[in-house]
Structures are given as C-alpha cells and as structure tokens.
Amino acid sequence: MKFNTTIKRLQEAVNKVILAVPAKSLDARFDNINLTLENGMLTMFATDGELSITTNCDVASTDKGNIAIRARTLQDFLRSMYETDVTFDIERQSIGELGTIHIATDKGRYRIPCTFTTKPESQKRNFDLSIELQQNELQDMIHKTLFACSVDGMRPAMMGVLFEFDEEYITAVSTDGHRLVRCRKKPGVTVAEKQKIVVPARVLSIIQRMLTNEEVKMTIDSERRNVKFKTATMELESALIVEPYPNYEAVIPVENEKQLVTDRSQLHDSVKRVGRFSSIGDLKISAQDSQIKVMAENASEGESAQEELPCTFTGEEITIGFNAKFVEAALSHIETEQVSIEMSSPTTAVLFKPKYEERQDDLIILVMPVRINN
C-alpha cells in the first residue's frame, strides 16, 4: 500500500479529523486515525465513540487498503514538517496485524508504526430529516449561541444548543441559567411538523472550526438521537443530547415598559472599562431621560468608576445590577451599530437586542440582573 501527496494537503485533512480524537481515552482504538485508500482517494476517520469525523484527501495511488495510526504521532510529524511532496509506503510485518509506514521526503526518511485494520463499522441509521444551510447561516447561529451554553454537568441539556425547526424558522437557543440567547433564521426550510434537537456544545465548537465556504447539509435520524453535518469535504456524525430542554419561552418577558437605545460599541467599551473596577465582577447601569450611567466600585481598595453615555430612554428612572462579563459578552455578540435594551424592574430579566432599521429582530440575549447594594 503506497501513496504520494503533499504535506499541506495531508495536514489539512488530519487537522480536521483529529478533532474527534479524545484528549484521554481508556480505549486505544479511539487514539487512532483510520486511513482507507481506494481509487486515488485517502479517507480519514476518527471517533471517540459518540462523535466521529470523516474527511477525504486526494492522493496519487492505484493501491487500496486500510490502516490505523496513532493520531497524535501523525499530527506531530506533520506539524514539524515544511511543505513538500511526501510518499507513504506501508509494509505489513510477517506476523500479525502490525505494520510500518516508511515516509520519504526530499530531505529525509522516517518510520512510524501502524496497524492493518478496517474502519470501525458505524451503526446503520435512518437520517430522515434533512436541512441544507449556507455556511454563513450555520456559523452565525453557532457564534451567537455557543457562548451562553452551560458547563454544569448536572444539567446536561443546557450543555448544548437547542435547535427548533418549523415551516418558517430555524431557532437556536442556549442558556446557562443566568443568561439566555435565542437566534432565529429564515432559511426556507420546510418540515412536516415542528422538530426539536439538542446538539452538544462540543460538536458545534468543532463545526465552527472546520467549516469553510461550503454549504452544509444537516440530517437528523428518525429516533432524534443522532445528527450528521456534511459538506463536500467532510462529514461529522454525533449523538444528540436526549435530556428535555427547559421551557425557555417561559422566561422571556413579553412586556418591558422601559426601553433604552444607545450606541452598542460605546456601551461595550464602557462596560469593559468600568467593570474592571468592581471587586466582585458586577456593575450598575442606571438610565433616565437621555443618559445612561455605568458604575462599579471596589470599596475595600477605595476604587470606583463611572461613565455617562447618551441614549434614548422611555420609562421611569431605573438602576439595575449585572454581572459585567455577561453584559460584555451580550454586547460583543450583537453586530448592529445600536443596541436596544428592554427592562421592567431591577429584579426581572433584561433583553438585549440588535436595533435594526428595517428588518425584524432575529436575536434576543436575555441577562438576569444581580442584587446590588445601594
């Protein structure tokens, strides 16, 4: 079994597929990348038992065969190399399934052990729901929701992003109990009935890193326990989170009589600066008439900060306490020049929204207030 390719082409494929290899594993099979050579195509496959990634690499070869190689060994070798042509010549040992990969470049000769094996058989599943998305649509939904996922293993459903599909929208929702994001798109997808799935945050993080300018086909199996993301160059299949997702709609306030509109970039920078003066990471935002104040203090060190910004505000004067990092993150994931902030009282959820000129809001970021000492 022999093939020729370039270091860059091989490295690009390995860097994608190795994202499925766990950092630590009790099963040695999950430490490997499986290589399948056939018809001038090198197919790479890796899995951790719940997540698998398959990608292809064009090579020059008329051979065919299957081997497994330690993922980190191959990655470390490719990282250390410069761009050049490379030849892999795989030799089977006389006894057993062990083999040796002889690697040749213009400057060197290298040997790496391997195993002659077949790719692990994946369970046959009926992927009956198919949704095609533009790369930028999926990337945008992931970017705007992933940051608010929970990392608390006691609440597994919240460690992923809820996707809802209906005749009009794809809705993505994430929450960690202190903040919540709802992002909606109109991709023109038609489904027979409303569908809900929860995709693990780790899977979406990998998709975010792997996607290039390609259309993405998202398919879901009939039992709603597995999802597959497929492009022209890669395929990722993963188990879904089957725990029921919290009723997020119940916590989104529908009536907030106090509304504030201000420059998003200026408020973001102000929160970032003033928040550094807080001893416990919180700050106060006060709004009245045409002015918004951002305040924080560290009483034990005698430090404090206050900044005033112009705004448009309707309603009675209000002062609300926030976790500074949560407000900073919310503002950094809104892309419009102006932000709309909807409030009701110092103890109820606050909504951060993009301020559009013509189209409807497709993003809501809810942040729960914190208790403040006057």
What is the residue extent of each domain of the chain? Answer: 2-116, 127-250, 253-367
Confidence of residue 121 (pLDDT cuts 50, 70, 90): low
- Measured CA to CA in angstroms, residue 166 lies from 119, 140, 171, 356 at distances of 37, 19, 9, 24
Average pLDDT of the chain, as a whole number: 90
Contact status, residue 162 vs residue 200, Cβ threshold 8 Å: no
Q: Report d(CA 364, CA 356) in Å as an integer.
A: 13
**CB contact set of 202 (below 8 Å; sequence gap of 6+):** 51
Assigned CATH for 253-367: 3.10.150.10
Residue 176, pLDDT > 80, answer: yes
Fold entry, domain 127-250: DNA Polymerase III; Chain A, domain 2 (3.10.150)
Type of residue found at 218: M
Tokens, residue 237: 């299949």
Domain 2-116 CATH (choose: 3.30.160.20, 3.10.150.10, 3.20.20.80, 3.30.300.30): 3.10.150.10
pLDDT tens per residue, range 297-333: 987 888 899 999 999 999 899 999 999 999 999 999 9
pLDDT tens per residue, range 332-348: 999 999 999 999 999 99
pLDDT tens per residue, range 251-295: 999 888 899 999 999 999 999 999 999 888 899 999 988 999 999
Contact status, residue 17 vs residue 55, Cβ threshold 8 Å: yes
pLDDT tens per residue, range 147-166: 999 998 899 999 999 999 88
3-state SS record for the chain: CEEEEEHHHHHHHHHHHHHHCCCCCCCHHHHEEEEEEECCEEEEEEECCCEEEEEEEECECCCCEEEEEEHHHHHHHHHHCCCCEEEEEEEECCCCCEEEEEEECCCCEEEEEEEECCCCCCCCCCEEEEEEECHHHHHHHHHHHHHHCCCCCCCHHHHEEEEEECCCCEEEEEECCCEEEEEEECCCCCCCCCEEEEEEHHHHHHHHHHCCCCCEEEEEECCCCEEEEECCCEEEEEECECCCCCCHHHHCCCCCCEEEEEEHHHHHHHHHHHHHHCCCCEEEEEEECCEEEEEEEECCCCEEEEEEEECEEECCCEEEEEEHHHHHHHHHCCCCCEEEEEECCCCCCEEEEECCCCCCCCEEEEECCECCCC
